Structure 1
Amino acid sequence: MKRERTPTGRIWRLPLSLLLWGVFSASMFVPAAYAVVRDNHPASQSFFYSGLLGLICVILIGLALGDRTPRYGTLGQLLSLLFAFAILPLFLAIPLQDALQTTSYLNAYFDMVSAITTTGADLFADPGRLTPPLHLWRAQVGWMGGMLMWIAASAILAPLSLGGFEVTTRGEPGRAASGPSMIARADPRKRLIRITAMLAPIYVGLTLTLWVLLLMSGEQSLTALCHAMSVMATSGISPVGGIEGSTSGVAGEALLFLFMFFALSRLTFSSDTTNTAGFRRLETDPEFRIGLLLVFGLPTLLFLRHWIASLEVTEGEDFMLALRAFWGSMFTVISFLTTTGFESADWEEARQWSGLGTPGLILLGLSVIGGGVATTAGGVKLLRVYALYLNGLREMEKLVHPSSVDTVHHADRIQKNGAFIAWVFFMLFAMSLAAISLALAALGVSFEHAIVLSIAALSTTGPLIEFAAETPIKLAELGAVAKGILCAAMVLGRLETLAIIALFTPGMWRNN
C-alpha cells in the first residue's frame, strides 16, 4: 500500500489513455531538439510548445482525478487503445500542421492516424515538402504506435482472446480464458507494467541495432533512423520516398530484410504469449514456416515463370540480371507480407524479368494475409491462415473418407474451434472491406481505387496506395468525407473488428 503513495505509484494509477497522452507529449521534445540542431526554430517552437501544453493538460487532469480513477479492467485498457488510435492524433496533428503551414488540419490528422496505426499512407507525395524534423516526427509516431501494439498484444489483447489469440486460447473473444490465466487477470495494471518493462527494451534495442547497422552500410543518419523505426513498426514511412532514395544499396536492403522477420512471428523476439511448450521453438512455429514459404516460394515461382518462357533465348550475361530480379522479388514479398510496404530498388527489374505488368493483385494478397499474431504487422495474420489451412485439409479428407476420424494434426497452439473463429474473422474482414469500398465508391472514387484504398487501410499497408493500382492514387485529392472514412478504416484495421465488437457489447463490460 505504501508504494501506491509514492509519486511513481500515483502516476501508474492514472488511466492508460492519460498516460499515453503524456508519453506522446513528452516525445515531442525529441523533434523539437532536432529542429534546434537543424537551425529550424519555427518547427522547434511548434513541437516544444505543443509538448509542453500536452504535459500541462495531463498533469492538471491527473491532479483533478486524484484517487478517483475509474477502473474498468482489461476492457478499459482496450478502450484506451481506441483513444490512442482515433482521438490522440487530434493532438499529435497540432505541431505537424503548425510547423508545415501549407496543409489543412484534416490532412495533418489523417497523416497522424496513418502513422500511429503503422499504416504509413503517404499524404505528402513529395518528400522535399517536409523538413527533416517533420520526417522524424512522422517516423517516430509510427514507431511509438508499433511499440504500443507490441505491448498491448501481451497485456491487453491476449487476456481478452483478441488479436489472433482467439484462435489459440479457450476463452471466448472479448473474455479472458478460464484457468491459471485468471490469476494474471486479477490486476491488469500490474500486468501492463510488467510486460512494458520486459518488451520495451527489446523493441528499443532492436531499433538502435538496425540504425547503427544501416549507418555502417553507408546510409545517412536521418534516413537510417527513420527506416529502422519504420521496419520495426512496419509503418513503411521514409524521408526519401522509399528504398530507391536511400544510399545504402543492396547492403541496406539486406539489413532491412533480416529485421522484417521479426514481424513474421512473435517467437522471433519473445515467448510471453506461448501457452504450450511445443511451439516455443521458432523452427516449429507454423506462422514462421508459412512466412518462409511465401517469402522464398513466391519469388521462385515468379523466377521460374520467366525462366521457362525464355529458355530458348536466355543469354549468359543475364545471370546477374536474374539474381537482381530474384532479390527484388524476395525483398518486396516479405515487405508487403509484413505490411511494411517498402519496395526494393530491384522490384522494377523483377517485374520486367517475370513479365508482370501490374503486380497489384500479388501485393494486395500478401498484405491481406499479413504477418504474425502479436507483432506490429497487420492483415488477417498468418496464424488464422494456418488454422484455415488445417481445416481445409480436414474437409478434403472427409470428402474421401466421410466416416474417418480426424487425422489432421491440430497443433496444440490451435484450439478445437480455432478454424471456425478464424473464418468468422475473415468474413468480418471481407464485410468491412466491402462496406468501405462501397462507401468510397459512393463518393466518386473508382472501383479499382476504392478496393486498393480499403485493403491498404484495413491491412495497415499504406504504400499499397502507390504501388498496387494501375496509376498511383493521390490521397490529397480525396474529399474530406473520404479521408474520414479511411481514418476510421485504419483504426478498424489496427484494432480489428472483433475488438471493436467487444468494446460495444454491454455484456462484456458487466463480466469484465
Structure 2
Amino acid sequence: MTLRLSQIPLFVQMVLISGLLMYVPAAVALVQNDHFVSRSFFYSGTMVLSVCTLIAIAVHGTRGRTRTVDNLKALFLALALLPAVLALPMYETLGVVPYVDVYFEMVSSLTTTGMTTYEPASMLTDAVHLWRGMVGWLGGLLMWVAAAAVLAPLSLGGFEVTAMGEPGQLDTGQTHMQQARPMKRWSRAAQALLPIYVGLTGALWIMLVVLGDRPIVGLMNAMATLSTSGITTGVGVQNSNSGVAGEMIIFLFLLFALSRSTFSSDTGAVRRNSLLEDPELRLGFLIVMVVAVMLFMRHWFGALSEEDVSDPLAGLKAAWGGIFTVMSFLTTTGFESSEWHVARDWSGLQTPGLILLALAMVGGGVATTAGGVKLLRVYALYVQGLGEMERLVHPNVVLGRKRAGARGLRRRGAVIAWVFFMLFALSLAAVTLLLALAGNSFEEALILAVSALTTAGPLTQVAGEFPIAISSLGPVEKLILCAAMIAGRLEALAVIALISPDLWQK
C-alpha cells in the first residue's frame, strides 16, 4: 500500500486527505441536528474523494522518478490551489457569499494566518468553525513535515543559516533521512511527526476541557496553539472558561513554536546537549521578558502619574497579560490574554501596536509553525554584529565560531540571513504599496501586509487604533493578501528556488 501511495502525486494525496477530513465536521453537524451543513460537508467530501480516486487511478504507475523540486512544487500547489478545494463545503454551506471570500478564508487558515472575513463569529456554526480550525491545524502539520522532507534538504526555510549547501540547492552534508528518495523522506517525516503533533494537540485539549472549556472551544484553542493559527470559535482565549490557568498551559505549548528542537531533531539543524543551549529558545525568552518588562514599566509609570499603584493584584495581572500576549505574538499565534486589558485600564494608556508588529516580524523558530523572519536568522545577525564590534576594537582579530550557540552557524549564515531580511522588507514594501493603491490608508495597508507576510492575522484587530474589517475589503485586496500569505508561509527564498532553472535540471 505504501508503494502504491508513493506512486501517486503528493498534491493528489493532500487533496485525498482533505476530502476525508470533510467527514469530521459533517459528523459534528449531524450530531447537532444541523442536517444542511452536514450534507454540504458530506457531499463535498464524497465528490473530492471520487474525483481524486479517478485521478490517482489514471496516473498510477505513469510517473517517473520524483525529485525534491517536485515536492517543493507540490507544497506550493497545496498552499495556492488546495484552498480552492477546501472552500467547497464552506461555500455550499454559506451560500450567498462570493467564492473569493471562502477561498481567502481557506488560504488564511491553511497558511496558519488566522485572518477572517466573518465577524462576528456567531454567524458561523460549530461545524464550520471546526473546519476552519482543522484546516489551520492541517497547515501546521504540513509545515512540520515539509521542513524535514523538503526545506531542509534544499537549505531553505531557515536552514540556509546552518546548512553547508547553498539556498535552493541540494545540501551535500545531508542526514540519512535527507539522502533518501524525496517521497521516502516525506513518508518518514510524516510517520515520525504525526503522532507527536496529534498527541500534543490531544493533551492540550484534555487539559483545557478539564479546566472548564467546552469540548469544541478547547479543541479549537488546542489546534490554534499547536498550529499558531490563532483560529478560535470567536470566543477567544481571553473569554474562555479555562481562564488564566488555561493561558499558562497554552504558554507552555507555545514553546514548540520557538524551536524545532523542542519536539524533533530530524532536520540536521543545530543540535544541543540541552534545550537551555538552544539559541532560538534563549533569544525567544529574552525577547519575551524584555518586551514584557518594558510594557509593564510603561503602564506602571502611567499608573504612577494617576496615583493608582496601590493595587498589587492589578500589577500582577498586568504583568501576566503582557508576558502571555508578547509570547503569543512572537510565535505569530495572536492570542490576547484575559488580563491584557488590565494593564490598559490600570494606567489608562494604550499599548503601541508597533510593538506587536515588530514581534510578529521577528517570528518564532525555524521549521516550526510560526511565521516571521525567524529567531535563528536574527541570532545569526546578532552574532555577526558582535564580531564586527570586535573588529572595531581589534582590527586584526581572527573571528571564530566558538562563541556559545554559534558553533552550528555557517560562515556565510549572517549574509544569507541579511539577504532574506532584505527580501522580506522588499516584499513588505510591495504588498503595502499594492494595498495602498487599492484604496487603503497607509496604516491599514502596513498592518495588513505585516499580518499576511508574517502569518499573524490577529494583528489586524489589535495593532491599529481601530480593528480592520476584513469583510469590507474588495476582491482584489483579498487576492493580494492571499498571495502575500502564501509567500509569507513558503518564504521568498523558496519561491526564488522554485523558479530556478538549475534546481529543475537536477
TM interval, shorter chain, is over 0.9
Report deviation, 1:186.
4.1
Q: 2:290 aligns with which of 288, 292, 297?
A: 297
Alignment-derived partner of residue 318 in structure 2 = 325
| 1:162–1:499 Cα contact (<8 Å) kept | yes
Q: 1:23 aligns with which of 1, 17, 20?
A: 17
Alignment-derived partner of residue 419 in structure 1 = 414
Alpha carbons of structure 1 residues 313 and 206: separation in structure 2 relative to 1, 3 Å? same
Deviations 1:112-149 (A, max 9, x none): 00000000002111010000100000000000010000
Q: Amino acid of the residue matched to residue 50 of structure 1?
A: S
Alignment-derived partner of residue 3 in structure 1 = none
Alignment-derived partner of residue 278 in structure 2 = 285
1:458 aligns with 2:453: yes
1:76 aligns with 2:70: yes
Alignment-derived partner of residue 481 in structure 1 = 476
1:394 aligns with 2:387: yes
| 1:390–1:408 Cα contact (<8 Å) kept | no
Alignment-derived partner of residue 35 in structure 2 = 41
Q: 1:361 aligns with which of 336, 354, 373?
A: 354
Deviations 1:171-190 (A, max 9, x none): 01111211454883341111
Report deviation, 1:274.
3.8
1:220 aligns with 2:220: no
The root-mean-square deviation of aligned C-alpha atoms, in Å, is 1.7
1:273 aligns with 2:292: no
Stretch of structure 1 that moved more, 388-397 or 173-182: 173-182
Structure 2 Cα separation of the partners of residues 268 and 427 of structure 1: 29
Alpha carbons of structure 1 residues 174 and 38: separation in structure 2 relative to 1, 3 Å? same
1:449 aligns with 2:449: no
Q: 2:464 aligns with which of 450, 453, 469?
A: 469
Q: 2:341 aligns with which of 330, 333, 348?
A: 348
Deviations 1:403-439 (A, max 9, x none): 2221564522210000000000000000000000001
| 1:267–1:281 Cα contact (<8 Å) kept | no
Structure 1 Cα separation of the partners of residues 176 and 239 of structure 2: 50
| 2:300–2:309 Cα contact (<8 Å) kept | no
Structure 2 Cα separation of the partners of residues 305 and 185 of structure 1: 52
Alignment-derived partner of residue 202 in structure 1 = 196
1:240 aligns with 2:234: yes
SS in 2 for 1:123: coil
Alignment-derived partner of residue 205 in structure 2 = 211
| 1:176–1:182 Cα contact (<8 Å) kept | no
Q: 2:182 aligns with which of 188, 208, 211?
A: 188
1:104 aligns with 2:104: no
| 2:209–2:218 Cα contact (<8 Å) kept | yes
TM-score normalised by the chain length of structure 1: 0.95
Q: Amino acid of the residue matched to residue 160 of structure 1?
A: L
Report deviation, 1:244.
2.7
| 2:177–2:185 Cα contact (<8 Å) kept | no
| 2:105–2:116 Cα contact (<8 Å) kept | yes
Structure 2 Cα separation of the partners of residues 355 and 383 of structure 1: 36
Structure 1 Cα separation of the partners of residues 300 and 107 of structure 2: 43
Q: 2:172 aligns with which of 166, 174, 178?
A: 178
Sequence identity of aligned pairs in percent? 51
Alignment-derived partner of residue 133 in structure 2 = 139
TM-score normalised by the chain length of structure 2: 0.96
Q: Amino acid of the residue matched to residue 316 of structure 2?
A: L
| 1:120–1:237 Cα contact (<8 Å) kept | yes
Q: Amino acid of the residue matched to residue 241 of structure 2?
A: T
Deviations 1:416-467 (A, max 9, x none): 0000000000000000000000011111110000000000000000000111
Stretch of structure 1 that moved more, 348-357 or 241-250: 348-357
Q: Which runs of 5+ in 1 are unaligned?
A: 1-6
Report deviation, 1:318.
0.9
Q: Amino acid of the residue matched to residue 86 of structure 1?
A: A
Deviations 1:327-364 (A, max 9, x none): 00000000000000011111122234466424210100
Alignment-derived partner of residue 426 in structure 2 = 431
Stretch of structure 1 that moved more, 54-63 or 408-417: 408-417
Q: Amino acid of the residue matched to residue 433 of structure 1?
A: L
Report deviation, 1:90.
0.6
Alignment-derived partner of residue 502 in structure 2 = 507
Structure 1 Cα separation of the partners of residues 373 and 499 of structure 2: 21
Q: Amino acid of the residue matched to residue 197 of structure 1?
A: Q
Alpha carbons of structure 1 residues 298 and 183: separation in structure 2 relative to 1, 3 Å? closer
Alpha carbons of structure 1 residues 99 and 274: separation in structure 2 relative to 1, 3 Å? same
Alignment-derived partner of residue 60 in structure 2 = 66
Structure 2 Cα separation of the partners of residues 182 and 202 of structure 1: 21
| 1:303–1:354 Cα contact (<8 Å) kept | no
1:493 aligns with 2:485: no
Deviations 1:378-413 (A, max 9, x none): 000000000000111111222222222215645222
Alpha carbons of structure 1 residues 402 and 91: separation in structure 2 relative to 1, 3 Å? same
Structure 2 Cα separation of the partners of residues 155 and 355 of structure 1: 49
Deviations 1:147-174 (A, max 9, x none): 0001111111000100000001000111
| 1:358–1:470 Cα contact (<8 Å) kept | no
Structure 1 Cα separation of the partners of residues 182 and 38 of structure 2: 37
Deviations 1:465-511 (A, max 9, x none): 11101111111111111110000000000000000001111111112
Q: Amino acid of the residue matched to residue 285 of structure 2?
A: L
| 1:118–1:233 Cα contact (<8 Å) kept | yes
Alignment-derived partner of residue 53 in structure 1 = 47
Deviations 1:39-88 (A, max 9, x none): 01111111111111111111101111121124341111011111111101
